[in-house]
Amino acid sequence: MFKKILIANRGEIACRVIRTARRMGIGTVAVYSEADAGALHARMADEAVAIGPAPAAESYLVIERILEAVARTGAEAVHPGYGFLSENGAFADALSAAGVTFIGPGPKAIAAMGDKIESKKLARDAGVNMVPGHLAAIADADEAAAVAAEVGYPVMLKASAGGGGKGMRIAYDEAQAREGFVSAANEARSSFADDRVFVEKFIEQPRHIEIQVLADGHGTCLYLGERECSIQRRHQKVIEEAPSPFLDPGTRQAMGEQAVALARAVDYRSAGTVEFIVDGNKNFYFLEMNTRLQVEHPVTEMVTGVDLVEQMIRVAAGERLSIGQSDVALNGWAIEARVYAEDPTRNFMPSIGRLRRLTAPAETDAVRVDTGVIEGSEISMFYDPMIAKLIAHGADRNAAIAAMSEALDAYYIRGISHNVSFLNALVRHPRFREGRLTTAFLDEEFPDGFENAELTDGIRDAMAAAAVLVHLRLAAQAAVVQGQAGPVDLVVGIAGGQHEVAADLAGDRLELRLSGRSVELHSDWRPGQPLLRGSFGGDAVTLQLDRRPDAYRLIHAGVTLDVTVRTPRAAELARLMPVKVPPDLSKFLRCPMPGLVVSIDVGVGDNVEAGQALAVVEAMKMENVLRAEQDGTIAAVHVGQGDSLAVDQVILEFA
């Protein structure tokens, strides 16, 4: 076994690998860029080596810098994590030439599966089900339009070297095929230095289901069940679960056997994932093989009990797998939610800044938190804006969903925008609970983006009670109320309504007469605590709390509400206050996130139509096309190609 390994990555996956290596008694080396000086992964490792400037292209993606760190520290092996150099055959070759073990598959498998065009040919030869398409690289937009028409719309234009949702566009007509080819090629060139794009049939109402494979160098190759990854936005996974609520044992076995056949065809050794697209009739087609650890690997670990990072290390060290296919059993259900620094109310644009407050849910047998940040960490514009992966396990799917929702309620993040409430609304959505999933789920159920989850009577009453309890405790602290005695008449403003209530707080028990009925909240909350935990109506409840100038902001079950609590006289006076009208910003196209202007597609005096592309802004290696929301005329252009923009910076002005 290795004595020391280097992790050629950053963030949560570097921390994840370090934890397993430490448990195995293996020393660890972290590498870090200037932006990651002092980052959690660098602090967790036994040694840490600086490898260059903040941009990944000048640090984490520079093979020579990694090799220098290996040589300097004497690491015997390198774990690449995911992303960066994890599927770079040249990196694996360079390590081999230096006498260092690559903790992953051999260069042959990386090369074969890393090229999406060649991988499909190999999969076809191995007897794996294939999606109809045109596997040759497309030369230009004209050929993209011609090939798309031949394959039949809708089609998917995909970068041959793509991954992580980059370099992918769906086209339903010729105009979208042409535009999609240009955007996919540009993203692929920027992210992978390879602008080859191919076309395949887009399967409508599809599910994205993947098979985890594991193989050693002694002839054992097995599959560890599947992961349902259909909940996606912009081709990036948001929620993953194991097993899939859709598959039956026969389909699971057929998919697993095809995945193993493909792995054997390329002499695969290590952990890897074969991704399939599955239609409503459980027909499945090969999508791609990822020759690395997947972001969503924890759900497989939770239901199988297999530490995939440990197995990767042991296989790389030459050991045999200690289990066979008959030993693989699925225990319960696991769900993973990706917690991102992004603003769901602004089309999920990335958010950067410092994590001013951060309290993660407690880890238990049912809850796991994989993260690479702590309170005070910086979410940088240079890397993926993931804060953490939150994983919940239960005896069945409903139990896993309940554990996930409860954990999300307890995930307190301040300082940047984040998607925690959106994730909670998603897992509580009736269609999600029923397991009726497709990759179009978010577009269909959240077509206008996300503002708030459904406000039920139960959630509203719990928030009203919580606001009253907080108000009375703060009043007692300020010596406004000394020794609560008997009911207090108050007016609660919530969800646009004003409610006269009678509140009786005795110890940790609040009784509230609300809308003609009595409700009870039990909580030991005290001033200064960001989470209010207790029981409401006999059920455990957790609410997040922020004090606003004139209200209490409460967050629970994906709902965010500002609740006012006033005396009857104060409520009467508040109704007389003038309402501040927000400024009209409809005349401006503002940048929704920090980014770089790729192109400005209109000029002063141009007439534009709703839906027309106005500008393209790149953020975190993704191109974002900004479109007109309505017809109009361009009055001014305030930025140019190559400019760096801040959030809300004005790009265009309409007449």
Active site residues: 288
- In total, the chain counts a number of residues equal to 655
Return d(Cα 282, Cα 203) in angstroms, integer: 12
Q: Are 186 and 195 in contact (CB under 8 A)?
A: yes
Angle (CA) 54 55 57, round 5°: 135
Return d(Cα 368, Cα 361) in angstroms, integer: 9
User: Shortest CA distance to 84 belongs to which of 163, 176, 167?
Assistant: 163
Q: Are 309 and 79 in contact (CB under 8 A)?
A: yes
CA 543 to chain centre: 23
Return d(Cα 388, Cα 159) in angstroms, integer: 27
**Contacts with 391 (C-beta within 8 Å, 6 or more apart), sequence order:** 298, 299, 302, 334, 335, 336, 337, 367, 368, 369, 370
Q: What is the dihedral of CA 339, 343, 348, 351, to 10 degrees?
A: -80
Report the helix count and the strand count for the chain, using DSSP H and E. 17, 39
Joined tokens for residue 158? 């995909």
Does an H or E element contain 510, and which?
strand 509-514
Sign, Cα dihedral of 529, 534, 540, 544: negative
Joined tokens for residue 543? 């609410």
Does an H or E element contain 466, and which?
helix 457-477
Burial-class residue 527 by CB neighbours within 10 Å (0-12, 13-18, 19+). Answer: exposed
Q: Are 148 and 174 in contact (CB under 8 A)?
A: yes
Sign, Cα dihedral of 331, 293, 241, 227: negative
Please name the residue ranges forming H helices in 59-153: 63-73, 89-97, 107-114, 116-125, 141-151
User: Shortest CA distance to 395 belongs to which of 383, 403, 406?
Assistant: 403
State the Rg of the chain over Cα.
27
Angle (CA) 496 499 505, round 5°: 125
Return d(Cα 277, Cα 285) in angstroms, integer: 5
**What string of DSSP letters covers 258-321?**
HHHHHHHHTT--EEEEEEEEE-TT--EEEEEEE-S--TTHHHHHHHH---HHHHHHHHHTTPPP
Return d(Cα 445, Cα 464) in angstroms, integer: 28
Provide the CB-side half-sphere exposure for 81 (13 A, CA).
24
User: Shortest CA distance to 31 belongs to which of 3, 77, 58, 65?
Assistant: 65
The CA-based diameter of the chain, rounded to the nearest angstrom, is 80
DSSP state, 130?
B
Q: Are 41 and 66 in contact (CB under 8 A)?
A: no
